[in-house]
Structures are given as C-alpha cells and as structure tokens.
Amino acid sequence: MVGLPSLEFGLMGHTSINTAIGGSQIARYDMEILITGGTGSIGRVLCRTLTEKGHRLTVLSRNPTKVKAICGEGTVAISSLDDLQESDHFDAVVNLAGEAVIGAYWTENRKQILWNSRVAVTRQLTDFISRATVKPRVFISTSAVGFYGNGGDNIINEDSPGSGGYAHTLCQGWEDAASRVKEFGVRLCIVRFGLVLMSHGGMLKSMLPSFRVGLGARIGSGQQWMPWIHCQDLVSMIELLLGNAELCGVFNGVAPNPVTNREFTVSLARHLKRPVFLFVPEWLLKLGMGEMGQLLLDGQRAIPKRFQEAGFVFQYPSLDSALTEIIG
C-alpha cells in the first residue's frame, strides 16, 4: 500500500494532508491546478473530479465560454498560455493537450498539427514555469504507449526501450519537452496512456455503433496486444501523482491485464450480445489509413509496474469489469 498519511506544507502557507484511500494517496486540500486539455473526453472527467474535491482549476481551452459548463463552476478559463503572468501561482500543472491521433489521414500537415498540439504546447508550459516567480510542485504530462513501438508478446514496463516510427518520435519529443521542468526543481511525472475506455469518447465510442449492429471486426491477425485503462482509474492515477510527493518519472497508465485485439473484440461483442465474425485485413487497413493504420497493427503488452509498486488499487482491473461498468 502507499503508506501512512503524511503532512506537507504548501508554498502559499496552507497545509495539505495526503491520506491513503483505497490504495491511492489523494491530496485532500484545495490545490491551485493549471490544466491543458481540460475540455477533452478525459480532461472533463478529471476536472469534474478535482472540482468536486475542492481544488481550484485554471483550464486552457479554445472554447473558454464552455469551460465552466464542462469542468465545473468556479473554474477559470484561459484561451492562451500567453494570458498567464509570472506572478500566477499553481501548485500543480496537468498537461492533457493533444489532437486525436486516430482520425484524419497522416499527411505532413496533419503530423505537424499533432506535433504542435503536444510538443509545442508542452514547450509553452515549460516556458511559463521557467518564468513563474513561484514554481509548481509537480508537472504531470501525458504521453502514450505508442512510445514503445511494436513489442510483440514481450511484457513491457516503464524501463523498456522505445522504438518505432512516427508515433515513437512524437512521444519522445513530447516527453523531452516536459523534461525541461526538472531544471527548475519541479517534480515531473509522465503518464503513458493506453487505450482509454469510456462511454462518452475515445476509441470505444467510435467502435460501438458498428458492434451494436453485429458488424464488429478484429484488426489484422488480432494477435497484437491492446493495453487499455478505464477512464476513472486513469483519473485516480493522476490524483495519486498529484498527492504523493515521492512519485516521479515515467508511469504506464494502463490496466494490469492487457488483452489481444481478438480478445478485446470478442469481449466487446459479448457484452453487446452480438456476433463477431468479421476482420479487417492488414493490407486494407494500410490502404485506407496509410501510416496511421500501423498504430492499430502494432501492439504493446504493457503493464503498470510503477503504479503497482506504489500500491495503486484498480477499480477496474479486468476488461470484463470495465466493459460491464461502461456498457452494462
């Protein structure tokens, strides 16, 4: 387990008590938190969770007028990081910004958009931190298990090397940009996301319509591994990193039981009480999606070794438990 409660004194004169709850050490006091990507499918769940626990949020959004409705009353919205002043103080910064990787065809222009939405935004954040009179205690930045490339059947933890094509290059640039905060004495946590499961967004939302009418299909051979995570467990992971000052470095934001694409397909169809007998050939996927299609053919048998070592308790450790909560 994480350990006994600890007392930590804040820079602004208030105190925080971190209490072990269900294996996760949660910051119990009201923190000032800057969040990018707060109105995205994951960000809105995180923001609602944090505001309900009394934290005060400043959210970067291209639609600032919608922030309070999405993220909760009391949330401050900014449309640009240039709006921040050197005197602005945040206890923590959570960086969730990033355009969807699966979607538009990967033209050179699209790749630049993906790069700017991740790497360039992260550099802007670290520039602000470099100028800030009072530095945040922790900077939590996201990445993806695509960092590892195609791992085959090998079990992958946070110490495994990265490889692959553009996905690895993108993740490496993203993480390198975030690493700059260590120069300023800021605790850095990088969470490499797996496939995030939720009812209101992400890949699962795009899969459900075809599966509901019995047109679900495995991808290629179906033997590639799919590291996944229920959105609520991912939010709890971020809460743990906010509250436990001893945790830093890279963490795999995945459930402890990855499945193959074939297993995922069969399980999803079973929960929807529909047959599944179709498959998308590898050649057709590459023809239709180009380089982006390789993301769906590569697999990572990734496990959350460092979260497990920290005593994190999963609410949804199995795919069956996650799909039961989402689908019923």
**Tens digit of pLDDT for each residue in 230-289?**
999 999 999 999 999 999 999 999 999 999 999 999 999 999 999 998 999 988 988 888
Amino acid residing at 112: Q
Structure tokens at 298: 């590569």
Domain-by-domain residue ranges, the chain? 6-197+228-256+302-316
- Write down how long the chain is: 328
Q: Which of the residue ranges 84-93, 94-103, 132-141 would you say has the lowest mean pLDDT?
A: 94-103
Closest CA to 310 of 243, 262, 259, 264: 243
What mean pLDDT, rounded, does the chain reach?
88
pLDDT at 99 over 50: yes
Q: Choose between 105 and 252: higher pLDDT.
A: 252
pLDDT digits (tens, 9 = 90+) for 21-53: 334 444 445 899 999 999 999 999 999 999 999
Least confident of 7-21, 112-126, 160-174, 219-233: 7-21
Work out the number of other CB atoms within 10 angstroms of the CB of residue 164.
20
Options 1.10.3720.10, 3.40.50.720, 3.40.50.970, 3.40.710.10; CATH for 6-197+228-256+302-316 is: 3.40.50.720
**Distance set, CA 73 to CA 32, 37, 46, 47, 90 (Å):** 15, 17, 14, 11, 18
pLDDT of residue 91: 96
| Cα–Cα distance measured from residue 318 to residue 174, given in angstroms and rounded to the nearest whole number | 29
Predicted structure pTM score: 0.89
Dihedrals phi, psi of 235, to nearest 5 degrees:
-60, -40
Tokens 């294996």 — which residue? 23
Which tens digit of pLDDT belongs to each residue from 168-225?
A: 999 999 999 999 999 999 999 999 999 999 988 888 888 999 999 999 999 999 999 9
Model confidence at 63: pLDDT above 70: yes
pLDDT for position 29: 56
> Is pLDDT at 11 greater than 70 in this prediction?
no
Give the span between the Cα atoms of 245 and 325, in whole angstroms.
31
pLDDT score at 308? 97
Long-range contacts at 198-206 (CB < 8 A, ≥ 24 apart): 198/41, 198/42, 198/45, 198/230, 198/231, 198/326, 199/326, 199/327, 200/41, 201/40, 201/41, 201/42, 202/41, 202/42, 202/231, 203/102, 204/268, 204/326
| % of the chain exceeding 70 in pLDDT | 91
Whole-number Å distance between alpha carbons of 199 and 328: 11
| Cα–Cα dist 208/73, whole Å | 32
Region of poorest pLDDT, from 43-57, 58-72, 83-97: 58-72
| Confidence (pLDDT) at 10 | 34
Whether the per-residue pLDDT at 317 is higher than 50: the answer is yes
